């Protein structure tokens, strides 16, 4: 029988490697168990915990961080202005998911905004000093230099949605294409024939995929795609209002609108009301995100639910795995996970 507080083979404190050998698993798996990652099987967790108890292993956070050149901190980086972060439920839901997953670990979370050139330069210097063990990057634009900088610095990183179909970093996203298709198919099933789309920022790959889903759903339903019914937006309420005004001016006979976010739909709704258009009698309206805005709108908004909190949890788990393995997947020549979570259309009275 092993005695409590047994010494390691070196005669000193038991090491992480000795725990891994006793449990018959890799060092990274032991780190994940100790850091509280839920993505470990019950049998593996039990084997690691038994080895920890038998050897009397006690994690020394400060010593471990120093020896491994670790900071026990990760950064959630948002390359957007602070005003947008606090205005859009997407970001708070993402933060909630990350926070829930991080709560059982010893890691600290830093929230960093990088919406201006000055903030980006300051962030680049901060990251170059390796003051965090990994980065979660939310709301990534196609021309954003931060993902390439992270790869250059070999800092483990996970992004919320790929920059393109050829993404090289680990990413977690929702099914933007399928979500858009379901929204348009629903509107078609309601007998709508002049369905407009207010897009998100088109330098965001997810917004591009929503446009693709919109187009394909119309084609498959036997409707042509009228380019005049597509108006660029930027995921904001103000952008939704501007786009709605442009659409009504250009296509006054439209009878439905699919907006790229609930916040955008709120802006469109206000313009429709001011123009005397009843929702859904004259114009059906569908949003995206299924945020609290959708539930509290009048009339309540039909919306595509994407599992934002779950996306945050999955992002953090993938990041902790890369951190435990000491190097980002790209540096180890491994295939980078591109996780896509399903969406769901939540029908309410706006459509």
- Give one DSSP letter per residue of 302-324, joined into a string: EEEE--HHHHHHHHHHHHHHHHH
pLDDT for 1: 36
pLDDT for 283: 98
Summarised one tens digit per residue, pLDDT across range 175-195 is 999 999 999 999 999 999 999
Res. 157: pLDDT tops 90: yes
Mean pLDDT, the chain, whole residue set = 87
C-beta of residue 161 within 8 angstroms of C-beta of residue 270: no
Q: How many CB atoms lie under 10 A from the CB of residue 327? A: 13
pLDDT for 85: 84
Instruction: Give percent of the chain with pLDDT exceeding 90.
Output: 55
Summarised one tens digit per residue, pLDDT across range 304-336 is 999 999 999 999 999 998 888 765 555 555 567
Angle (nearest 5°) at CA 153 between 151 and 157: 50
Backbone angles phi, psi at 157, to 5 degrees: -150, 145
Structure-model confidence comparison of residues 139 and 345, the more confident one? 345
pLDDT for 335: 63
Summarised one tens digit per residue, pLDDT across range 204-241 is 999 999 999 999 999 999 998 999 999 999 999 999 99
Res. 6: pLDDT tops 70: no
115 band by pLDDT with thresholds 50, 70 and 90: confident
**What is the residue whose two structure tokens read 């858009």?**
180
Query: What is the chain's length?
Result: 351
Residue 228 vs residues 198, 239, 254, 258: alpha-carbon distances, Å: 11, 17, 10, 14
Q: Which of 53-67, 130-144, 315-329 has the lowest mean pLDDT?
A: 53-67
125 burial class (0-12, 13-18, 19+ CB within 10 angstroms)?
exposed
pLDDT for 63: 46
pLDDT for 322: 87
CA gap 325, 174 in Å, rounded: 26
Among left, alpha and beta (phi > 0; psi -120 to 50; other), residue 235 is left
Where is mean pLDDT largest: 72-86, 124-138, 154-168, 298-312?
Answer: 298-312
pLDDT for 105: 80
CA atoms within 13 A on the CB side of 64: 20
pLDDT for 150: 87
pLDDT for 238: 96
- Give one DSSP letter per residue of 44-77, joined into a string: HHHHHHHHHHHHT----HHHHHHHTT--SEEEEE
Res. 152: pLDDT tops 80: yes
Instruction: Give percent of the chain with pLDDT exceeding 70.
Output: 90
Res. 3: pLDDT tops 70: no
CA gap 185, 88 in Å, rounded: 26
C-beta of residue 257 within 8 angstroms of C-beta of residue 284: yes
Residue 37 vs residues 42, 257, 318, 327, 340: alpha-carbon distances, Å: 11, 42, 10, 18, 20
pLDDT for 4: 42
Where is mean pLDDT largest: 83-97, 192-206, 310-324?
Answer: 192-206
Angle (nearest 5°) at CA 198 between 194 and 199: 130
C-beta of residue 320 within 8 angstroms of C-beta of residue 154: no
**Consecutive H or E run containing 288:** strand 284-289
pLDDT for 66: 44
pLDDT for 14: 81
């Amino acid at each position: 029988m092993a005695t409590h507080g047994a010494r390691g083979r070196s005669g000193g404190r038991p090491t992480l490697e000795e725990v891994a050998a006793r449990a018959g698993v890799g060092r990274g798996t032991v780190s994940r168990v100790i850091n509280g990652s839920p993505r470990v099987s019950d049998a593996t967790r039990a084997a690691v915990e038994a080895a920890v108890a038998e050897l009397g292993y006690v994690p020394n956070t400060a010593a471990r961080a120093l020896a491994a050149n670790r900071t026990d901190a990760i950064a959630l980086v948002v390359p957007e202005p602070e005003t947008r972060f606090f205005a859009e439920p997407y970001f708070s839901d993402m933060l909630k998911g990350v926070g829930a997953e991080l709560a059982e670990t010893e890691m600290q979370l830093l929230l960093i905004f990088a919406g201006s050139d000055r903030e980006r330069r300051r962030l680049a210097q901060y990251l170059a000093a390796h003051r965090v063990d990994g980065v979660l990057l939310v709301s990534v634009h196609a021309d954003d230099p931060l993902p390439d900088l992270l790869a250059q610095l070999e800092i483990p990183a996970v992004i919320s949605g790929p920059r393109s179909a050829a993404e090289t970093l680990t990413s977690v996203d929702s099914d933007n294409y399928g979500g858009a298709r379901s929204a348009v198919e629903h509107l078609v099933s309601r007998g709508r024939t002049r369905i407009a789309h207010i897009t998100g920022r088109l330098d965001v790959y997810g917004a591009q995929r929503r446009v693709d889903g919109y187009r394909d759903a119309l084609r498959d339903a036997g409707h042509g795609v009228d380019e005049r019914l597509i108006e660029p937006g930027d995921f904001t309420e103000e952008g939704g209002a501007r786009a709605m005004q442009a659409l009504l001016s250009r296509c006054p006979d439209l009878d439905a609108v699919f907006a790229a976010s609930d916040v955008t739909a709120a802006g469109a709704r206000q313009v429709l009301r001011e123009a005397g258009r009843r929702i859904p009698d004259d114009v059906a309206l569908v949003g995206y995100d299924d945020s609290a805005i959708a539930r509290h709108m009048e009339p309540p908004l039909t919306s595509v639910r994407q599992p934002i909190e779950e996306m945050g949890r999955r992002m953090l788990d993938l990041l902790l795995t890369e951190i435990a393995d000491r190097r980002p997947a790209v540096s180890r020549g491994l295939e980078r996970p591109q996780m896509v979570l399903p969406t769901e259309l939540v029908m309410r009275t706006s459509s």
